[in-house]
Chain A
């Protein structure tokens, strides 16, 4: 079954404690992206990857890092989380044709 898997789905953490949200897709897609969703602001792009070792900043990259060492994985790293990074995070992937976008189920992250 074609899917994008995010983990963890729910996390409460403390300020400054490094964390990684994993994203994995099984469709051999070239493109992957991370978004954060906040009330009234819609989904804003954090980082974007066009293929292995090719990444680019989105609209709100501050405080986040990513890597794309393998085609299937695109982890989101919060080196030193802060409360303003409390949000709902979505990972997405799509192929070159891009007719179908696949989303993970979302990761609820709370930083206290």
Chain B
């Protein structure tokens, strides 16, 4: 069965610092990978997705993620945090080898300090 692990349920960075949110997955075949952001009291917004093209994926709001097959990882980064980045972030995996199920990680709440 596929699984998604997000290391760190809470991450705190200073404004202007590097943001690194970790996501590891297990999948029987090369999966499709997604990062979503959720602002307070709102729905899910797609940040970026990996669909077997380039391994380095650029998304909205300056975020990017790199698919590393050997490490089964899809970590999300942003060079310089902004106060408006404070939100909850979810990594998700769609596994063609598991009936195309979409599975989410537990989420990481990003806090940005002034």
Q: Are A43 and B90 in contact (CB under 8 A)?
A: yes
Q: Are A98 and B101 in contact (CB under 8 A)?
A: no
| Residues of B58-114 contacting chain A, CB below 8 A | 90, 92, 94, 96, 99-107
Residue on B nearest A33 in the bound complex, by CB: B102
Residue on A nearest B31 in the bound complex, by CB: A98
Determine which of A35, A100, A106 lies in contact with B104 in the assembled complex, contact meaning CB atoms within 8 Å. Answer: A35
Chain A 43-63 interface 0/1 with B at a Cβ cutoff of 8 Å (1 = within)? 111001010000010000000
Given contacts A42-B104, A43-B90, contact A99 B99 (CB under 8 A): no
Residue on A nearest B91 in the bound complex, by CB: A42
Alpha-carbon distance A35/B44, docked complex (angstroms): 12
Q: Are B94 and A98 in contact (CB under 8 A)?
A: yes
Is B12 interfacial (CB 8 A cutoff)? no
Count of A residues near B, CB < 8 Å?
24
CB distance from A89 to the nearest CB of B (A): 11
Q: Are A92 and B102 in contact (CB under 8 A)?
A: yes
Q: Are B43 and A90 in contact (CB under 8 A)?
A: yes
| Residues of B26-46 contacting chain A, CB below 8 A | 32, 34, 43-44, 46
Residues of chain B at the chain A interface (Cβ within 8 Å)? 6, 9, 32, 34, 43-44, 46, 49, 51, 90, 92, 94, 96, 99-107
* 10 closest residue pairs by CB, A with B: A42-B106, A43-B104, A42-B107, A105-B43, A103-B44, A98-B94, A99-B51, A106-B43, A42-B104, A31-B100
